[in-house]
Amino acid sequence: MKEPAKNGLTKLELEIMQVIWRRGASTVADVQEDCGRELAYTTVQTMLNILERKGKLTRKLEGRAYVYSAEVTEAKASRHAVRDLVDRMFGGSAEELVMSLVKNKHIDARRIAELVKRLDRQEGKKK
């Protein structure tokens, strides 16, 4: 299986980042406690250190423990993940992604109409 792009996040990295985004600055123990599944302390510590090396987190020594903070926002990570998906799976075409969602019945015409209305309102706010 292909390795994720340097800027991308693996599934476990994303889970850990979601804890940090939700909680704010956190220690290894904080993340371990708030993670959606049981993970060894050393696993969480390793993943936090990997995320820090990737530039996704920063860390600061407070007392005897490092406190990790997000360096990348959830919105930025989401934009990157969607762009990566569109590029890799749909040849860079967001329209092909939408058509795939329709074809696989993840979204229907009624929902698309609702989204168009939301987009129109959003565009109206920008003007």
At 4, the pLDDT band (50, 70, 90 cuts) reads very low
Residue ranges and CATH numbers for the domains of the chain are 1-91 (1.10.10.10), 93-127 (no CATH)
pLDDT at 2 over 50: no
pLDDT at 55 over 50: yes
**Percent of the chain residues past pLDDT 70, beyond the cut:** 94
Check: CB of residue 50 under 8 Å from CB of residue 13. yes
The residues, any chain, with a CB within 8 Å of residue 67's CB and separated by 6 or more, are 25, 26, 27, 59, 60, 61
pLDDT at 5 over 60: no
Host H or E run for residue 50: helix 41-53
Mean pLDDT calculated for residue range 55-77: 96
- DSSP, collapsed to helix, strand or coil, labels residue 69 as strand
